[in-house]
Amino acid sequence: MRKLNHIGIPTSEVMPNENYMEGAKLYVTDFAESPNKIEWLRFEEGSPMPELLKTTAHIAYEVEDLEAELKDANVLMEPFQPNENLTVAFVIEEGAPIELMKFNN
């Protein structure tokens, strides 16, 4: 079962309290600090992130079984760990990027 976590929106504007992710050449805000659970993403030129993420808003869901969610999925980004408590992957559904988040207990 999926539980809505946040919405990620690409922007070209500098947003308050951005965090820089050097390897991704990406500035990102913390959706947990947004009353509407919005994560703003600002990509630097040459960012290695997929073009679809750079141009299209994504919906992020918490999932219980990431492997099951990825079975037969159109995977945009393979699973990775942005921190020790979280594994994420991106898939494409209905032409849009969908972030799947598995919190590691």
The conformation of residue 32, written as its DSSP 8-state character, comes to G
Contact 9, 36 (CB under 8 A): no
Helix (H, G, I), strand (E, B) or coil at 74: coil
Q: What is d(CA 71, CA 61) in angstroms, rounded to the nearest whole number? A: 16
Rg (CA), the chain: 13
pLDDT category at 105 given cuts 50, 70, 90 is confident
If you average pLDDT over every residue of the chain, what do you get?
97
> How do 86-93 and 96-103 pair as beta strands?
antiparallel
Contact 53, 11 (CB under 8 A): no
Model-level pTM?
0.94
The model's pLDDT over 6-41, given as tens digits with 9 standing for 90+, comes to: 999 999 999 999 999 999 999 999 999 999 999 999
For the chain, the domain total comes to 1
Q: What is the CATH number of the domain that holds 95?
A: 3.10.180.10
Q: Print the domain residue range for 11.
A: 3-103
